Structure 1
Amino acid sequence: MEENPVKSEMCDQDFRRTSNFHMHQSNHTGEKPFTCKECNQSFAFSSILHKHQFIHTRVKPFTCEVCDKSFWHSMNFRVHQRIHTGEKPFKCEVCEKSFSQSSNLQRHQRIHTGEKPFKCKVCDKSFSQLSNLHIHQQSHTGEKPFICEVCNKSFSSLVTLRVHQRIHTGEKPFTCEVCDKAFTQLSHLLVHQTIHTGEKPFKCEVCDKAFTTSTRLLMHQSVHTGEKPFRCEVCNKSFSKSSNLHAHQRIHTGEKPFTCDVCDKSFSESSTLRIHQRVHTGEKPFTCEVCNKSFSRSSKLRAHQYIHTGERPFTCEVCDKSFSHSVSLRIHHRIHTGEKPFVCGACDKAFSCSSSLLVHRTVHTGEKPFKCEVCDKSFTQSTSLLRHQKVHTGETVQV
C-alpha cells in the first residue's frame, strides 16, 4: 500500500515515501552521522555507508548472468539489466519518450519545462544538468587538471578527456539502431536519431522554426537579436557562436588540427576536411533536381542552379552589371580597379584572374592540353579547340 505523499518545506519537493523524504531532508540539514572507518567519509544513512564500503572491500556482489559484469549496488545492477531486457519503465508524459532510469527522465523533462536548476555563483548562468555546471565553473578558474597522455591537451573534466581520447583510439561506442552509424558521443547519436524520427522539439518563439537541439535553437535566436557575445581578443571581431570564434582564432594561431588520412593535408575546420575528403572518395552528395548533375559542395550546387533559374544576384556597384556567381563579380571588379594579382613567374606579366594566367603559362611550357578527338590536333585553350571542332562538324567558323 502506497504511503501518503510528503512535501519538503524547504524546497516544496514531493515524496511518496517517508524514507525518501528523510533521506532528502539531510541535503538541507547537512547532517551525516555515519562515518566510514577506512576513509572518514560521512553519510546521512547507514545503508549508504554500507554500500560505500564495497569500494574498500572490492566486493561486487551483484553479477549479471548475461554479460558477467559485476556491481557494488543492487540498484546499479537492476538498471544495468535493462540494457539486455530493453525495459524503459519511465515515460515522459509530454512526448511519451521512455527511459531506463528515472534520473534520465528527470533530465529529459527539463527540455519541455526549460528548467535550469543549477546556477553558477560567479556569473548566475544556469544549467539543466549539474555536470554541465561543474564544467562551466572551471571556465572561471581556468583549471584544466585532466591531461591527454597522447597529445598533452588539457581538459576541465574527466568526461571531456574521455570523449577526446576517442579521437586517438577511433572508438565510437554509440551506434544508431536504424542505420548502424556510430558516434563518439551519446549526444551526437541523439541528435543524429532525429534524422530518422523527424523530431524537432525546440521551437523559436519569434518565427516558429524548429530545431533538433536546444543549442541550435540558441544559435538561431541570435539571428533575431543580432547578439554576438563571442569576441576575438586579437582583432575584436565578434561572433554569434562560440564554435565560429574557435574556428576564427585559428587564423591567428595558424593551427590546423584536422588532417586527411589519405594525403596528410591539414585544415583548420572539420567541415573543410569533410569536404576535402570527397576529392578522394569521389562523393558528390548534392544533386540538381533539374538536370541531376551532382556536386561535392552545397555551395557549388546553389551556384549551378542559377543556370536553370537565370538569376544573377551579384551586381557591380560601379556599372550595374550582374553575375550569377560572387567569384565572377570579384573578377569583374578588377576591370574597374585595374588589379592584376596573378603574376607569371617566367615573364612577370600579370592577369586579373587565375585561369588567364594558366592559359598564358602554356606560352612558356609549350603545353597544349586540349586535344581534338577526330584528328588529334592540340590547342592551348579550350575555346580554340571548340572553334577547331567546327571544321569537322561543318559549322561556319566566325572570325
Structure 2
Amino acid sequence: MDSYTTEKTFTLEVCGVDLSQKSEIKHHPIRHTVEETYTCEICDAVFSQKSNLLTHMVTHTKQKPYKCEICDATFARKWNLKAHIKIHTGEKPYKCELCDAAFCQKKELQTHVRKHTGEKPYQCGFCEAAFSHRTTLLHHIRIHKGEKPYKCEICDAAFSQKSGLHSHLRIHTGEKPYKCEICNAAFSLKHHLQRHIRIHTGEKPYECGICEGAFSHRSTLLEHIRIHKGEKPYKCEICDAAFSQKSGLHSHLRIHTGEKPYKCEFCDAAFTQKSGLQPHVRKHTGEKPYKCELCDAAFSQNRGLQVHIRKHIGEKPYKCGICDADFSRKYQLQTHMILHTRSHTSTNKCDTDDFMLSM
C-alpha cells in the first residue's frame, strides 16, 4: 500500500521542504539560488518559473487554450489534454496492484484504491459522514443545505444530484431500462429491479431484531417493527381507527366510502379487500388449498382448517360463563346459551348432556 501513499517523501537539505514528486526537485533550488520570482497580479501566489505563473493565470481568466483534435473538449492545462486523449486511444497506464482495474489518469487510480483500503478522506462538516470521493461529499452537503439545483422541466420536481433527475425523467418518458432476466418485468430504477429479483430468489436480507421475522424490503421491515412498538401513525380522519401501515388505512377507508374495487369474475359479488375476494372465488372454483395433516379433510379458507383441527386435538376454546360446558365452535356456545335463557334461568346448571346429544 506504500506505493499509493499521499505523503511527501523527497526532503531538501537546504530548506527542509518536502516535495511530493521527484521531478519538482530540479525546479525548487532556483528559489534558493535565483532572487527573481514571478508574482500573480490578481492574487498573492508566487512562482519561481514564468511558465508556472502562466499556467496559474488560467485559473483567473478561465481560458482553455488546449483543444482536443478528436472531439470538442478544451482544457486549461496541457497535461489535462494529454490525460483526456487517453480516453480516445484506450490507453490505461495506471494499473491497480490489488485487482485488474486500469485507468487513464493517476487520480482515477488513487480514487479507486480507496475501495480496497476503505479510506474516506472527505468528511462532512455538518454530520459524521465521510466519503472516498470529493464529488460525493459535495452532493451530500446539498442535502444539509437543501440545495436542489437539478430541476425537472416537465413538473416541479427538483433534485440535489443529477442522477436523481435522470431517474425521475423516466416517469415522464415511461422508459424502463432495467429488465428482469427471469420474467418480463421492467423497471425505471435499478434498485426497484434489485428489490423485485428477491421475489424470485426468496432472499430476505432485512431481519427483525425483536422476533425472527425477515423481509425482502426494508420498508416492509420498518412497517413490521411498528407492530412490536405499537405505533399506529396512520389515523382515520372519519373515525378513531389507526393503523401501523398506510395500506391498512387505505383498506379501512373503503368501509366509509363503500368502495368495493375487488370484483368476482363469476358473480356480482364485490369486496373492499383482496383478501375477501380470494376465499370467495374458491367457492366457484372448488379450490381447497388448506389441507389437514391428520386426515384427508381440505378447506377453502384457513379459518375452516383451524376449526377442524380442534376436533383432533380436543380443543374447546368457547366456554360457558354460567356452567362448565365448553365448545370447539362459537355457534355451538351461542346455541347452548339459549338453554340458560329458558325455564332453567334460576339454576346454575343445565342439562348439557341433552344439549350435546342434539348437537
TM-score (norm 1): 0.54
Letter in 2 for 1:380: S
The residue that corresponds to 2:122 in the other structure is: 201
Q: CA distance change for structure 1 residues 326 and 187 in 2, over 3 Å: closer, same or farther?
A: farther
Question: How far 1:332 sits from its partner (Å)?
Answer: 1.0
The residue that corresponds to 1:346 in the other structure is: 266
Find the aligned partners of 2:272 and 2:224 in 1 and give their Cα distance.
23
Letter in 2 for 1:210: A
Q: Is the 8 A contact 2:215 2:221 kept in 1?
A: yes
Q: CA distance change for structure 1 residues 339 and 220 in 2, over 3 Å: closer, same or farther?
A: farther
**Matching of residue 394 in structure 1 with residue 319 in structure 2:** no
The residue that corresponds to 2:228 in the other structure is: 308
Question: How far 1:201 sits from its partner (Å)?
Answer: 3.2
1:139-288 superposed matches below 5 A: 197=118, 199=120, 201-205=122-126, 208-212=127-131, 214=134, 217-218=137-138, 220-221=140-141, 224-288=144-208
Q: Is the 8 A contact 1:194 1:200 kept in 2?
A: no
- Please point out which of 52, 72, 80 is paired with 1:24: 52
Find the aligned partners of 1:228 and 1:363 in 2 and give their Cα distance.
55
Question: How far 1:371 sits from its partner (Å)?
Answer: 1.2
Q: Is the 8 A contact 1:343 1:349 kept in 2?
A: yes
Q: What is the CA deviation profile of residues 298-338 of structure 1, one whole-angstrom value per residue up to 9, with x for unaligned ones?
A: 11211222232222222222213121111111111211222
The residue that corresponds to 1:369 in the other structure is: 289
Question: How far 1:26 sits from its partner (Å)?
Answer: 4.6
Find the aligned partners of 1:118 and 1:272 in 2 and give their Cα distance.
45
Find the aligned partners of 2:177 and 2:103 in 1 and give their Cα distance.
18
Q: CA distance change for structure 1 residues 342 and 238 in 2, over 3 Å: closer, same or farther?
A: farther
Find the aligned partners of 2:307 and 2:102 in 1 and give their Cα distance.
54
Question: How far 1:272 sits from its partner (Å)?
Answer: 0.7
Q: What is the CA deviation profile of residues 50-107 of structure 1, one whole-angstrom value per residue up to 9, with x for unaligned ones?
A: xxxxxxxxxxxxxxxxxxxxxxxxxxxxxxxxxxxxxxxxxxxxxxxxxxxxxxxxxx
SS of corresponding position for 1:303: helix
Q: Is the 8 A contact 1:344 1:361 kept in 2?
A: yes
Question: How far 1:269 sits from its partner (Å)?
Answer: 0.6
Q: Is the 8 A contact 2:39 2:46 kept in 1?
A: no
**Matching of residue 327 in structure 1 with residue 355 in structure 2:** no
Find the aligned partners of 2:95 and 2:296 in 1 and give their Cα distance.
57
Letter in 1 for 2:280: H
Q: CA distance change for structure 1 residues 223 and 387 in 2, over 3 Å: closer, same or farther?
A: farther
The residue that corresponds to 1:63 in the other structure is: none
**Matching of residue 3 in structure 1 with residue 29 in structure 2:** yes
Q: CA distance change for structure 1 residues 240 and 28 in 2, over 3 Å: closer, same or farther?
A: closer
Q: What is the CA deviation profile of residues 149-179 of structure 1, one whole-angstrom value per residue up to 9, with x for unaligned ones?
A: xxxxxxxx9969x9xxxxxxxxxx99895xx
Q: Please list every run of 5 or more consecutive structure 1 residues that lacks an aligned counterpart in the other structure.
A: 31-116, 122-133, 138-156, 163-172
Q: CA distance change for structure 1 residues 25 and 222 in 2, over 3 Å: closer, same or farther?
A: closer
TM-score (norm 2): 0.59
Question: How far 1:188 sits from its partner (Å)?
Answer: 12
The residue that corresponds to 1:55 in the other structure is: none
Q: CA distance change for structure 1 residues 26 and 119 in 2, over 3 Å: closer, same or farther?
A: closer
- Greater relative contact order (CA < 8 Å, ≥ 6 in sequence): 2
Question: How far 1:282 sits from its partner (Å)?
Answer: 2.7
Q: CA distance change for structure 1 residues 285 and 348 in 2, over 3 Å: closer, same or farther?
A: same
Q: CA distance change for structure 1 residues 25 and 328 in 2, over 3 Å: closer, same or farther?
A: same
Moved more, 269-278 or 340-349: 340-349
Q: What is the CA deviation profile of residues 265-312 of structure 1, one whole-angstrom value per residue up to 9, with x for unaligned ones?
A: 211110011111222333222112222332211112112222322222
Q: Is the 8 A contact 2:38 2:50 kept in 1?
A: no
Letter in 2 for 1:23: S
Q: Which has the larger radius of gyration?
A: 2
**Matching of residue 380 in structure 1 with residue 303 in structure 2:** no
Question: How far 1:8 sits from its partner (Å)?
Answer: 3.8
State the identity as a percent.
38
Find the aligned partners of 2:61 and 2:294 in 1 and give their Cα distance.
76
How many aligned residue pairs are there? Answer: 264
Q: Please list every run of 5 or more consecutive structure 2 residues that lacks an aligned counterpart in the other structure.
A: 1-13, 15-27, 64-70, 75-84, 317-327, 331-359
Q: Is the 8 A contact 2:39 2:53 kept in 1?
A: no
Q: What is the CA deviation profile of residues 162-213 of structure 1, one whole-angstrom value per residue up to 9, with x for unaligned ones?
A: 9xxxxxxxxxx99895xx89999998995995797474733243xx242425
Find the aligned partners of 2:283 and 2:109 in 1 and give their Cα distance.
54
Find the aligned partners of 1:325 and 1:295 in 2 and give their Cα distance.
15
The residue that corresponds to 2:320 in the other structure is: none
